Amino acid sequence: MIIAQISDMHIQQDRRLLKGKFDAAGNLETCIQQLNALQPDLVLATGDLVNSGVAAEYAFLRELLAPLQAPLYLMPGNHDDRALMREFFPGHDYLFTDHTRLNHVIECGGLRIIMLDSHIPGKDEGAIGAAQLDWLESRLAGAPHIPAIIALHHPPFPTSPRYVGNFFCADGPELQQAVSRHPNVLRVISGHLHRNIQVNLAHAIGSVCPSTAVTFGLAIAPKTPFFYSSEPPGYHLHLWQPDKPIITHTVLLPPAMPAAADA
Ligand SMILES: [Fe+2]
């Protein structure tokens, strides 16, 4: 089966360009055209669905997502609003599994995808929290032989000396300990950093999915100035077959600059 992971779409109403020059809506439309041709089994959107977390953005996002043919699962990022996600996507039953956080377990093709909500309203940094870590532990302990992917917006693992603080998930170490206790966890997938990154995580692999909207500039050294890169945005395709390794392909989208900006 094919799991498409899209992330950090940062949609704004009225087709506004992100930061005045990145065509987030156009990129998402291109991405959806590609996904409709690829026919993934499901699409998982790992947060920052919109840019400012307001109703008009979710209304436009819903319009943009309408042509997508595959089953879609939405997760919150630091730019999102849980109540508005529920309001604008009332048919997405999994958004109502939990009364507060948007946690859910997808069972598909002998694999479990554990959607873990790391959003703290009003803050850029993320946290899972003790209650959710308990929830995760019970889900993993309840199905120790079923391969699992954990998905959340904020990377719960170090990615570079530059990406600390706001770029991290505060209780990432606790999640890493949970992963190390459960050999059936194959991947921990995330977004937030708008780059394509992989790390070792106990026996598993941790990854950051690029943004479909805009790529953050490469920042490895501490205090590197933050900048938006002209590197192409993209998304991940995770290919899953029972008893085989998960294979991840990065798909790059056309350059994020709109045609008008190139003139
Ligand atoms: Fe983002």
Instruction: Please give the distance, rounded to the nearest whole angstrom, from the Cα atom of residue 243 to the centre of ligand 1.
Output: 33
How close is the Cα of 110 to the center of ligand 1, in Å? Answer: 30
Residue by residue, DSSP assigns 109-160 as TTEEEEE-----TT-SSB---HHHHHHHHHHHHH-TTS-EEEE-SS-SS---
Q: What is the CA radius of gyration of the chain?
A: 17
Q: CB–CB of 252/46 below 8 Å?
A: no
Domain containing 24: what range? 2-262
Residue 257's pLDDT band (cuts 50, 70, 90):
low
Q: What is the pLDDT of residues 54-86, one digit of tens each?
A: 999 999 999 999 999 999 999 999 999 999 999
The pLDDT of 39-58, averaged and rounded, is 98
pLDDT above 70 covers what percent of the chain?
97
The model carries a pTM of 0.95
- Mean pLDDT rounded to a whole number for the chain: 93
259 C-alpha vs ligand 1 centroid, how far in Å? 23
Find the 48 Cα to ligand 1 centroid distance in Å: 5
Tally of domains within the chain: 1
H/E element, 1: none
For 120-139, what is each residue's pLDDT tens digit?
999 999 999 999 999 999 99
Calculate how far, in angstroms, residue 116's C-alpha sits from the geometric centre of ligand 1. 17
pLDDT (tens digit per residue) in 202-219: 999 999 999 999 999 998
DSSP reduced 3-state for 192 = coil
- Residue 242 Cα to ligand 1 midpoint, Å, equals 32
Q: Report CA(79)–ligand 1 centroid distance (Å).
A: 7
| Six token digits for residue 113 | 């995808």
Residue 90 is part of a domain; what is its CATH number? 3.60.21.10
pLDDT band at 163 (very low <50, low <70, confident <90, very high): confident
Distance between Cα 145 and ligand 1 center (Å)? 33
* CA proximity to 189, closest of 155, 218, 227, 162: 155
Whose structure tokens read 């109403």?
13
